[in-house]
């Protein structure tokens, strides 16, 4: 006679929903790596590159690097660091879209947790497509996680596949916080500093982003307003940034969103 627990387990398996299959990695422009599965992004519609102002050098460098990756040439892992709201994440997505618009085989995969990277490497290794593995707003409180990422970038026995590059955004240039007490207790303080810098040094391309001044902020607002047919008051735009505590592309976009809503207009992004 079958054990009742076995019958219950079998019944539960029959009524449980099937695990969705991975999205085809050769079809969609962008994906999310979630719980060991590749999920197609519901919508991938980044801002056009020409709407990202004040970061021309960063745009050119990132698009060139992604183009090389898509063409199968040598390309760098990338660290984008700097002030909040200055366009780091937006640029990653817009640069991928720009390369895709040229008809080249490149996709974005957003990775939420670093501990799933090795399984993702296995999933995409050898595919006839290049991939930007995007880790947004990364930071470490523990040295072990930082050392694991260093190994995945370079130097480990099982680094990332040739058709993929890691692209990381962070508010800190060196990713790992530097503790003065740790340096004071080290036999050689320079060793402590070098250990913290070692992760950032693994990225062949490091792009800095900085807070814009008032004229730069207003230029961003004006570009958005012109693109979407909106009239704006510069004093009001400056007042908005003052209340938000800073000037950045993100603050400018939030102002434009509010302005469009008050004007009874929709925005495409």
Cα angle 39-163-79, degrees, rounded to a multiple of 5: 85
**Averaged pLDDT score across all residues of the chain:** 84
Helix (H) or strand (E) holding 195: helix 189-201
Asked if 129 contacts 28 with a C-beta cutoff of 8 angstroms, the reply is no
- Cα 82 from Cα 137, distance rounded (Å): 10
Contact 25, 129 (CB under 8 A): yes
Q: Which two tokens stand for residue 236?
A: 């009001």
Min mean pLDDT across 137-151, 213-227, 236-250, 253-267 is at: 137-151
In Å, how far are 49, 72, 163, 179 from 196, measured between CA atoms? Answer: 33, 32, 28, 10
pLDDT tens for 30-58 read 999 988 899 999 889 999 999 999 899 99
Query: Model pTM?
Result: 0.81
d(CA 262, CA 242): 20
Summarize pLDDT for 79-119 with one digit per residue, the tens. Answer: 999 988 899 999 999 999 999 999 999 999 999 877 788 89
């Amino acid at each position: 006679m079958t054990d009742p627990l076995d019958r219950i387990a079998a019944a539960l398996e029959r009524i449980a929903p099937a695990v969705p299959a991975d999205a085809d990695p050769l079809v969609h422009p962008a994906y999310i790596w979630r719980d060991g599965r590749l999920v197609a992004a519901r919508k991938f519609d980044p801002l056009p590159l020409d709407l990202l102002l004040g970061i021309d050098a960063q745009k050119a460098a990132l698009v060139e690097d992604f183009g090389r990756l898509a063409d199968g040439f040598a390309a760098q892992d990338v660290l984008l660091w700097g002030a909040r709201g200055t366009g780091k994440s937006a640029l990653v997505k817009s640069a991928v879209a720009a390369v895709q618009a040229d008809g080249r085989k490149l996709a974005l995969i957003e990775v939420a947790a670093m501990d799933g990277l090795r399984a993702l490497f296995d999933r995409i290794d050898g595919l006839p497509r290049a991939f930007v593995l995007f880790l947004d707003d990364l930071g470490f409180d523990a040295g072990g996680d930082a050392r694991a990422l260093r190994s995945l970038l370079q130097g480990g026995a099982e680094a990332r596949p040739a058709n993929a590059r890691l692209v990381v955004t962070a508010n800190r240039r060196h990713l790992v916080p530097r503790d003065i007490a740790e340096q004071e207790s080290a036999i050689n303080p320079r060793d402590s500093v070098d250990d913290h810098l070692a992760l950032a040094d693994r990225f062949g391309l490091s792009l800095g982003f900085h807070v814009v001044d008032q004229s730069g902020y207003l230029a961003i607002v004006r570009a958005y307003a012109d693109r979407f047919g909106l009239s704006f008051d510069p004093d009001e735009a400056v007042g908005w940034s003052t209340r938000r505590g800073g000037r950045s592309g993100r603050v400018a976009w939030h102002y434009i969103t509010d302005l469009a809503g008050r004007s009874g207009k929709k925005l495409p992004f």
